[in-house]
Chain A
Amino acid sequence: MSHHSSPAMKLLAAPFLLMLAGLVVWPLATVLIDSFSKSGAWSLGNYAEILMSAYYGQSFVNSLLISVLTTAIGMTFGFLIAVGLRYRKGGTRRIAMALANIGANLAGVPLAMALVFLLGLNGTLTLLLKASGLIDTFNVYSLTGLIIAYCYFQIALAVLLIIPVLDAIEAELEEAASLIGVGTTRFWLRVGLPVVGRQMIAITTLLFANAMGTYATTLALTSTSVNVVTIRISELVSGDVFSDPNLANAIAMALLLVLVVPIVISQLLLKGDKR
């Protein structure tokens, strides 16, 4: 009976598949195809230009630097916070989850604006630290400022993603370890982390990709002054002096490659885990 009904029921997925084809596959295909087009002819010229150009090379180096650093910070604090929240009362957990959710959604223009009020030239914290003599000056419109901004949403995202993963480690396991005298730090290093290791790798790749693709926060905080990949792409398509859409396509493909390789590797690791 189910054999009769299933082909018709599969049709329910048809509009979705059509949407996927039109709004994901098609645009990605145009990016790929156009990336091989230079001055109206097929060529690898755009890719050669990226590889030769110190300017575009630097944008990748900067993006990688910010992303690797803020991913490491995000994972470390996200993990510590998630461990701290285990077995806490529902209320504390909910408040923490709500804060993390808001933190993740504040990313972008509002986060950049809020950080200027905190750390800008006349920011509350800047004035406070200046008055106490701890700093002379602080420039939030800089690479350092960007790293602080990225950390904000990277930690929030890490908390949201790590909490459910740690729920898989049973409380009994931790209690048993504590009964035989294994300390907290040793338990997490020897037992806890290895158990959830592969999921943690998957979350790390997501955080990394999240940072590499960040645009709104960067633009709102440092405009185009810090040379990162997303800013370069937007400049190349926005139709002014720097306009070169096909070069933008090639940079977008290069960015995609940087993101997809670690994700595919981590997915393969996860698959190996199940077998």
Chain B
Amino acid sequence: MTSSRHPALTATLWLAAILMLLPVLATFLNSIATGWTGGILPNGLSLGAYQTILTDGRFQSALLCSIVIAGLALSLACLLIVPAVIAAHLYWPSLDTWMARLVILPYAVPTIILMVGYLRVFSAPPLQLSGQPIVLVLTYVPLCFPMFYINVKNSLQALDTTELLEAGRLLGISDTRLLRRVILPSIFPGIALAVVLNFAGLMSEFVYARMLVGGQFETLQMYMFAQRDLSGRLSSVIVIVYFVITLLITFAAFRLVWRKETKS
């Protein structure tokens, strides 16, 4: 009942929400308008352009490419990162401290810098893969680290794992078994949340897709980039479709958070 009811703050909130949605609204208006003759309002409305894009083979294959790459990268990230975060939390505190620092890595070292290094790394043995889609799967794994660390760590902290392990040892249950039977299932919601949030991030990745793989393997972002100067209607449809995809992923992430909140 204090500062949040300040009228100036309420106004700021509304203004921010409107400004945030304004580009999307303008794009949406463009996507359903059949033509403009000078004025602010369109001549007529139609969803025809949506059909054109959604049935376009190039769009479908770009969407599929993005989903497959993100899926593979996330599977690999799960296998590599989750066991490491658990091991660090339970048995290796000094590694854990380092992991906490590494969370800011994608900010401190933007993809444009790593990209320059990857060009070199993937152009010679033992990883001579330059231009191949597998490069995206590999380079996307480090990008997933912060979300995995934060969410898995949060779940582990909520568990009181030290006590669990000690109780298990008293009862003669091995750590490995306890990890598999108790700890892993309990932190599963955290892992799921990390996967969903990372999925949205990977779908929006552009630097590696353009600079390391390029046009032959077209991801959704590369498709959008190639189509950005298309007829206003078709490219606005692409933006709206992408917006809806992001909306759905965000909604999925929030569902996971709510479920966790209601449980605890």
Question: Distance (Å) between the CB of A50 and the closest chain B CB?
Answer: 14
Bound CA–CA A96/B10 (angstroms):
13
- Whether A12 and B84, one on each chain, are in contact in the complex, defined by CB atoms closer than 8 angstroms, is yes
- Secondary structure call for the B interface: helix
* B69 cross-chain contacts in A, Cβ below 8 A: none
Residue of A nearest to B87 (CB): A12
- Whether B27 and A118, one on each chain, are in contact in the complex, defined by CB atoms closer than 8 angstroms, is yes
Per the CB 8 Å criterion, the residue count for chain B at the interface is 89
- A173-217 interface bits toward B, Cβ cutoff 8 Å, 1 = contact, 0 = none: 011011000001001100000000000000000100110111110
Most buried by A among B109, B211, B228: B109
Question: Distance (Å) between the CB of B25 and the closest chain A CB?
Answer: 8
- Whether A98 and B211, one on each chain, are in contact in the complex, defined by CB atoms closer than 8 angstroms, is no
- A18-33 interface bits toward B, Cβ cutoff 8 Å, 1 = contact, 0 = none: 0110111011111100
Assess whether B86 is interfacial by the CB under 8 Å rule. Answer: yes
Assess whether A143 is interfacial by the CB under 8 Å rule. Answer: no
CB within 8 Å: A-B pair count: 266
- Whether A256 and B113, one on each chain, are in contact in the complex, defined by CB atoms closer than 8 angstroms, is yes
Assess whether A259 is interfacial by the CB under 8 Å rule. Answer: yes
Most buried by B among A1, A19, A99: A19
Assess whether B68 is interfacial by the CB under 8 Å rule. Answer: no
- Whether B26 and A16, one on each chain, are in contact in the complex, defined by CB atoms closer than 8 angstroms, is no
* A100 cross-chain contacts in B, Cβ below 8 A: 20
- Whether A215 and B111, one on each chain, are in contact in the complex, defined by CB atoms closer than 8 angstroms, is yes
* Given known A26-B117, A210-B107, contact A124–B9 (CB-CB < 8 A): no
Bound CA–CA A152/B104 (angstroms):
21
Residue of A nearest to B3 (CB): A184
Cross-interface CB contact of B117 among A27, A106, A206, A213, cutoff 8 Å? A27
* Given known A108-B221, A174-B2, contact A23–B141 (CB-CB < 8 A): yes
- B190-209 interface bits toward A, Cβ cutoff 8 Å, 1 = contact, 0 = none: 00000000001101101100
Assess whether B142 is interfacial by the CB under 8 Å rule. Answer: yes
Bound CA–CA A26/B138 (angstroms):
13
Cross-interface CB contact of A98 among B6, B25, B113, B250, cutoff 8 Å? B250
* A255 cross-chain contacts in B, Cβ below 8 A: 110, 112-113
Assess whether B116 is interfacial by the CB under 8 Å rule. Answer: yes
Bound CA–CA A81/B114 (angstroms):
33
Assess whether B88 is interfacial by the CB under 8 Å rule. Answer: yes
- Whether A30 and B120, one on each chain, are in contact in the complex, defined by CB atoms closer than 8 angstroms, is yes
- B106-139 interface bits toward A, Cβ cutoff 8 Å, 1 = contact, 0 = none: 0111111111111111000001000000000011
- A97-133 interface bits toward B, Cβ cutoff 8 Å, 1 = contact, 0 = none: 1111111011111111111011000111101100100
- Secondary structure call for the A interface: helix
* A124 cross-chain contacts in B, Cβ below 8 A: 25-26, 29-30, 40
Bound CA–CA A16/B85 (angstroms):
9
* B24 cross-chain contacts in A, Cβ below 8 A: 106, 114
Bound CA–CA A259/B111 (angstroms):
13
- Whether B86 and A216, one on each chain, are in contact in the complex, defined by CB atoms closer than 8 angstroms, is no
- Whether A213 and B111, one on each chain, are in contact in the complex, defined by CB atoms closer than 8 angstroms, is yes
- Whether A111 and B116, one on each chain, are in contact in the complex, defined by CB atoms closer than 8 angstroms, is no
* A123 cross-chain contacts in B, Cβ below 8 A: 26
Given A115-B23, A124-B30, 20 other A-B residues pairs in contact with their CB atoms under 8 A: A2-B165, A13-B92, A23-B138, A27-B116, A34-B120, A84-B10, A84-B13, A99-B17, A109-B206, A109-B225, A110-B239, A117-B27, A128-B40, A171-B2, A215-B206, A230-B110, A237-B211, A245-B119, A255-B113, A259-B110
Residues of A within 8 A of B (CB): 1-2, 5-6, 9-13, 15-17, 19-20, 22-24, 26-31, 34, 77, 80-81, 83-88, 94, 96-103, 105-115, 117-118, 122-125, 127-128, 131, 152, 155-156, 171, 174-175, 177-178, 184, 187-188, 206, 209-210, 212-216, 219-220, 230, 233-234, 237-238, 245, 248-249, 252, 255-256, 259-260, 263, 267
| A-B interface, 8 closest residue pairs, ranked by CB to CB distance from nearest | A213-B110, A27-B117, A16-B84, A84-B9, A114-B23, A216-B206, A12-B87, A118-B26
